[in-house]
Structure 1
Amino acid sequence: MKVFEEYTAGIDNPDHRSKAEDVYAWIENRFPSLEQQMKWNTPMFTDHGTFIIGIDKAKHHLSFAPEEAAMKHFAEAIEEADYSATKGLFRIKWNQPVDYDLLEKIIQFNIQEKSDCTTFWRK
């Protein structure tokens, strides 16, 4: 998680910092083949040069951006988890639990759906 150390060090609230670090570490441990990158000041995980998910801090939440295709596919599950969402991301408030089962499904979906993708973003 060295790629994200400077980023997480900038999270002032220690509870928020810990939660973000836990999420990044969980992804790193569960999906060791994913590459960690900082792009546009956002921690991202990529696979063979293609975007899988970005997770960014905000004042009241963590934003999870898996691209619109994954958002559409998991819209009902995201709503059931009580996370607010837009067409491109969902938000987990700092005081909400992370649904790691859902996060795992979203990441697996993107890895599988983009296995032959040769661009960073879906076209």
Structure 2
Amino acid sequence: MTKIVEVNSIESYIGQFPAEVQQILREIRQVIKEAAPEAEEKISYQMPTFYLNGNLVHFAAYKNHIGFYPAPSGIEKFKKELSKYKSAKGSVQFPLNQPIPFDLIEKIVRFRVAENQALREK
């Protein structure tokens, strides 16, 4: 059984994984930061989280995949592009043995930024 380590920053979260996974996590983090420069970084549900007028997206590393959590609306909006990945109502799994779709992650984050900003303006 894997020991869950309490983390209090995205950097400490990333640091607990093997180097090749750290590299992927850092790239995902950078893509999100560029797509949502005003978002606040934090740890929520023991996962790296970006927050902008509410939770924007979460991501997490697992043994065989990266979990990406853009809320149900983010999955629904991009369901065609995400169809080749295992997904659920609010999550998608990107296998570690396949290229990570950084461009798609960026599109989903930009969608979620617009969505959360629209909610704030109501």
TM-score, normalised with respect to structure 2 = 0.83
1:74 lines up with 2:78 in the alignment: yes
- Matching residue within 1, 9, 16 for 1:3: 9
Q: Partner of 1:112 in structure 2? A: 114
Amino acid corresponding to residue 40 of structure 1 in structure 2? Y
Q: Percent identity, aligned pairs only?
A: 22
- Matching residue within 36, 58, 71 for 1:54: 58
Amino acid corresponding to residue 72 of structure 1 in structure 2? E
Give how far 1:22 is off.
1.6
Amino acid corresponding to residue 18 of structure 1 in structure 2? Q
Q: Distance in 1 between matches of 2:113 and 2:119?
A: 10
**Do the aligned residues in 1 keep the contact of 2:74 with 2:108 (CA within 8 Å)?**
yes
Q: Partner of 1:92 in structure 2? A: 94
Q: For residues 34-53 of structure 1, what are the structure 2 equivalents within 5 Å?
A: 34-48=39-53, 50-53=54-57
Gaps of 5+ in 2: 1-7
SS at match of 2:50: strand
Change (3 A) 1:30 1:110: closer
How many residues end up aligned between the 2 structures? Answer: 113
SS at match of 2:67: strand
SS at match of 2:119: coil
Give how far 1:3 is off.
3.2
Q: Which structure has more RCO (C-alpha within 8 Å, separation ≥ 6)?
A: 2
Q: Distance in 2 between matches of 1:114 and 1:107?
A: 10
Gaps of 5+ in 1: 119-123
Amino acid corresponding to residue 5 of structure 1 in structure 2? E
Q: Distance in 1 between matches of 2:117 and 2:36?
A: 14
**Do the aligned residues in 1 keep the contact of 2:35 with 2:110 (CA within 8 Å)?**
no
Q: Which runs of 4+ in 1 moved over 4 A?
A: none
Q: For residues 14-25 of structure 1, what are the structure 2 equivalents within 5 Å?
A: 14-25=19-30
TM-score, normalised with respect to structure 1 = 0.82
